[in-house]
Chain A
C-alpha cells in the first residue's frame, strides 16, 4: 500500500493550457512537499505547505488537510515546465513519496 498516490501518471498538454496534478495521502502529516525533476536532473523543491494555498509565479499549490488531498496547478504552461512532479509528505522522521507525474508540454 502506498502512503502517497498521485494522478495522473502521465500528462501531455499544449503550451498555454492550465494543468492540474493531484496527490492523495493516507498518513498523518506535518507538511506536504511538491518537487520537480527534469529528465536526467536533480530534484528541486517547489513548495512546502501544511495548510491553505501557496503561489510562486505560474505555480499554485493547495492542500486540504481534512480530505488528505493536495493539488499542484500550472497556469499558462510552457515547454520548460516539462518534468516529473513528485508529491511527498513529511510524517514523523520520514518522508513518503508518490511515484511522480510526468508532464510534457508541447509547443
Chain B
C-alpha cells in the first residue's frame, strides 16, 4: 500500500472555527490532491499541488486554503468552518500527470461542523 496518512480521521468542530487537515506521504510523489466526497456527488477537487509551494484551485475551492512547504505534507485549512463544509475529505497522491500514473488515496477525514 502507498504510504499516505491523513490526520485527524474524525473531527467535530463549531461553525466559525479554523480547522486544518493534514496529509502526509512517504512516496515522494509530486502531485497531491484534496477532495471532498458528499452524497450524490462524485469526488470533487478542492485544491491540488504539483510541487513544493506550487498549488492550484479546484472546482470547490471557496472557503479553503492549502499549503505545501515540504514534498511529504499537504495541509488543507478551513479558515472559518461552515456547516456546508461537513463532508468526508480525501487526500490523494500521484507520481506524475502523464500516462501510467496511479492514484493513491488516504483513508479519509470525516469532518462535522455543528
Closest chain A CB from B46 CB (angstroms): 12
Question: Which of A11-19, A43-51, A72-80 lies on the face that meets chain B?
Answer: A43-51
Determine the distance from Cα of A97 to Cα of B92 in the docked complex, in whole angstroms.
Answer: 13
Per the CB 8 Å criterion, the residue count for chain B at the interface is 28
Determine the distance from Cα of A100 to Cα of B43 in the docked complex, in whole angstroms.
Answer: 9
Q: Which of B41, B48, B90 contacts A94 (CB 8 A)?
A: B48
Which chain A residue has the least Cβ–Cβ distance from B42?
A97
Query: B33 interface residue, CB < 8 Å from A?
Result: yes
Across the A-B interface, the 7 shortest Cβ-Cβ residue pairs = A97-B42, A43-B105, A42-B107, A97-B43, A99-B42, A30-B99, A93-B97
Given A35-B103, A94-B45, A96-B42; 18 other pairs, CB 8 A cutoff: A30-B99, A42-B105, A42-B108, A43-B90, A45-B102, A45-B103, A48-B102, A50-B99, A50-B100, A86-B43, A90-B103, A92-B97, A95-B45, A95-B94, A97-B35, A97-B43, A97-B44, A99-B42
| B contact set with A: CB distance below 8 Å | 31, 33, 35, 40-45, 48, 50, 56, 58, 90, 92, 94, 97-108
